[in-house]
Chains A and B, each alone.
Chain A
Amino acid sequence: MTTLAPPPTVPASAGEEIPIHFKPARTRADRVFFACLTGASLIVLLAIGAIATFLLTHSIPAIKHAGTKIVTSDHFAPTGGHPSFGMVGILQGTITIAAVALLIALPVSIALALMINEYAPRRTRRTLTSIIDLLAVLPSILYGLWGLKTLSPEIDGPTRWIASHLSFIPLFRVGPGDPIGNSIFVCGIVVGIMVIPICTSVSREVMSQAPRDVCEAALALGGTKWGTITDVILPFARNGIMGGALLGLGRALGETVAVLLILSQSNVVHWQILTPGGGQIPALIAQDFTSLPPLGQSALTLAGLLLFTTILVLNILARQVVMGRPQAVFS
């Protein structure tokens, strides 16, 4: 215990920059320059405005046609003479997949973040962090490929075991003779694995900023490592973990390709998550959009708009929650 932290070399206040109230004179070139900057940022605003406007205007026909049935019925049949646009089914599927994904991703990504930061040898930390960042940009089609070709056959046995032994839980109930697989459950696992890097990356980042001296004080008082984690690091990083979870939720709600490859879609409320069926908005859009008549397209646009707004709000929340200050996901 000779290596207690050296006393901080700098008084804490010196690290903060004193704001300088100094405005350099603006030349004409400066005004042009700032006009360029503002113009560039306006393009961003324009883009999001255009997206919102287009989705909204294109979804009006469906709203007019279906009215409140959109949120009260789960019958989504966009074709035919009397199309109906009840979205409860696809909303339920989307949310359930994301929920399963988060339930799987959150515990292991907290463990992974703790492992990288606290348990693994110090030399490996940079490498592990790099690997996590790499996995966060790994294309989702690869997760879909893996989920379809590698995981689905592997998960079959455990799924059957769950179906036969845990069927007292309503979610795991499987009717006699029902097939198993291509289900919300498998999609949830794949999407969960996909969001692990994001949750880990954000929560690890925040955990690594936990005050080291407090951790060391806890150890000096005879606390165990786990005690330090539960009493110092986790409370400190709670917001970061929440933010990471919200970002992960956003990605899980919007994941398209993996779900499109795996789920056999049925667009009705489907609570038996082990059997094929259930719907998910992005996958449904990807599968059906271009082949539908205009009114059906309008309905799917409305579903897309719902999803888009939800994820925007989730993201703003996540950013606000992560320490109240903006943070880059990759840094």
Chain B
Amino acid sequence: MTTLETRAPGSFGAPPPGAGPPDTERPVRPPRTAPGWAWEFGGSLGAAIAVDVVGFSVLGTSPPIGMFVVGLLVFLVIYGIVSRVLHGPFVMKDRLAAVYVWVGGALALFPLLQIIWTVTLKGLPVVLDHFPAFLVHDSANAGPLAPTWQSGVGHAIVGTFEQVGIATAFTVPISALTAIYLSEADSRLSRIVRTIVDAMMGTPSIIAGLFVYLFWVQPRGVSGYSGFAAAIALAILMLPLMIRTAEEVIRVVPGSLREAGYAVGSPNWRVSLRIVLPTVRTGLITAMILGVALAVGETAPTLFTAHGSSQFNFNPFHGPQANLPLQIFSNIESFSPQFVKEGYGAAFVLVFIVLSLFVVARVIGSAKPGRRRIRLPRRLSKEVVSP
């Protein structure tokens, strides 16, 4: 998004001759506050590991996590004392803080990456072993004692695509129009809408499911469960995210572009639809795809609405329908290792879908905005171009 902002009118001051690239590009690197850092760091690390290993072999073994924690503490103490003695308190604080940042960052990233890693490691073989079968069969024949694999997640993939597809069909136009409204209008209503959208961003997903259950499923009795009901719940969760992201994108359209449109006599709607929207096309698509990626993985709102099923149900308007998160949920809750294994397979398919959506969104989003020319209506371009 920064690329757009730097193009905002007025920010193109003539750079003074000889000035380097903008300061966001090349930061000032603080010098190493003390030389010999590597030796002191390495020495402390070595000493800490030695103390750790010797200590634990004398006192008895401990699981790796215990050794890690103790080793880290010992290292911090040694490293702190060394730095303090050699360089003084400020350097000590600086170095200990660097350790905090790196260790904390690694601790934060580690489980998150481990999730993706585990799912891939356990799920990919499941998908590959029965390659087309796993993706096209349903799990109606699945059983803990089923000798061959005739089961798969095809029905869940169908359900996911139908439910998310319907939800997307609802939310894309509504969120695009609302985003334009929020960026164009400045009235009491628009402020209320913005606050509501902000508040809705965090709607707990179970509440969306609960609402749709009360509003749509329960009145219809036993046959109330359907993919369509799940789509409503997903749409409620997608809307605020899409509106908010789309509005952010529209907001960075330079005012001069709008004014240029008005200056050649375009009415408001034409400026919005023919100038503003095409300019931010890529950003809007990114916003929409992120909304879809979020919806694909929602479990809680579909629990009471699609309800899940083990068979193909191509009709989203009638009868319980499966989807990937629900399938994973019911599989990993079971005690049968076979089901759990299939759950990992389904989880891998889900990760794959979310990852692909995300990558597509990134690729589209990183395309330079406005690379493609906005085509003027022919009548207008003639008037403008030929004097």
Contacts and interface: CB of A to CB of B under 8 A. Distances in A.
Contact of A289 (B26, B202, B304): B304
B332 A148 contact: yes
A29 B181 contact: no
Interface stretch (A46-54, A166-174, A176-184, A270-278): A46-54
A303 to B, nearest CB: 10
Interface stretch (A63-71, A79-87, A130-138): A130-138
A193 interface: yes
A292 interface: no
Interface residues of A, number: 122
B387 interface: no
Contacts, number: 355
B290 A15 contact: no
A326 B247 CA distance: 10
Interface string A37-53: 11111011101101100
Contact of B268 (A33, A131, A282): A33
B262 A15 contact: no
B193 interface: yes
A138 B357 CA distance: 11
A196 B300 CA distance: 20
Interface stretch (B52-60, B127-135, B208-216, B376-384): B208-216
Interface string B161-201: 00000000000011001101110110001101111111111
User: Which residue among A50, A247, A319 has the maximum number of chain B CB atoms within 10 Å of its CB?
Assistant: A319
B31 A1 contact: yes
Nearest to A139: B297
Contact of A112 (B109, B287, B303, B354): B109
Given A58-B214, A330-B245, A33 B272 contact: yes
Contacts of A5: 23, 28
A301 B210 contact: yes
A311 interface: yes
Contact of A108 (B105, B192, B340): B105
Nearest to A4: B28
A134 B198 contact: no
Interface string A140-164: 1111111011110000011001000
A142 B297 contact: yes
Most buried by A among B109, B210, B300, B350: B210
B111 to A, nearest CB: 5
B220 to A, nearest CB: 14
B105 A26 contact: no
Nearest to A190: B111
B159 to A, nearest CB: 14
A9 B16 contact: yes
Interface residues of B, number: 127
B15 interface: yes
B16 A17 contact: no
Given A157-B65, A196-B112, 9 more contacts: A107-B104, A140-B298, A141-B297, A193-B112, A212-B27, A227-B93, A261-B332, A311-B202, A328-B245
- Of all A-B residue pairs in the complex, the 6 with the closest CB atoms, nearest first, are A139-B297, A111-B104, A254-B204, A115-B105, A40-B177, A33-B269
Interface of B: 1, 8-16, 19-20, 22-24, 26-31, 33, 63, 65-66, 90-91, 93-94, 97-98, 100-105, 107-109, 111-116, 118-119, 173-174, 177-178, 180-182, 184-185, 189-190, 192-211, 213-215, 236, 239-241, 243-245, 247-248, 255, 259, 262, 266-269, 271-273, 287, 290, 293-294, 296-300, 303-304, 325, 328-329, 332-333, 340, 343-344, 347, 350-351, 354-355, 358, 362
Interface of A: 1, 3-11, 14-17, 20, 22, 24-27, 29-30, 32-34, 36-41, 43-45, 47-48, 50-51, 54-55, 58, 107-112, 114-116, 118-120, 122, 130-131, 133-135, 137-146, 148-151, 157-158, 161, 193, 196-197, 200, 212-213, 216, 219, 224-229, 247, 250-251, 253-257, 261, 282, 285-286, 289-290, 301, 304, 307-308, 311-316, 318-319, 326-331
27 contacts: A3-B26, A9-B19, A10-B12, A14-B11, A15-B10, A20-B255, A41-B182, A48-B199, A54-B211, A108-B104, A111-B105, A111-B107, A114-B105, A135-B112, A138-B112, A141-B328, A142-B115, A145-B328, A157-B66, A228-B30, A257-B299, A257-B329, A282-B206, A316-B199, A326-B248, A329-B244, A331-B248
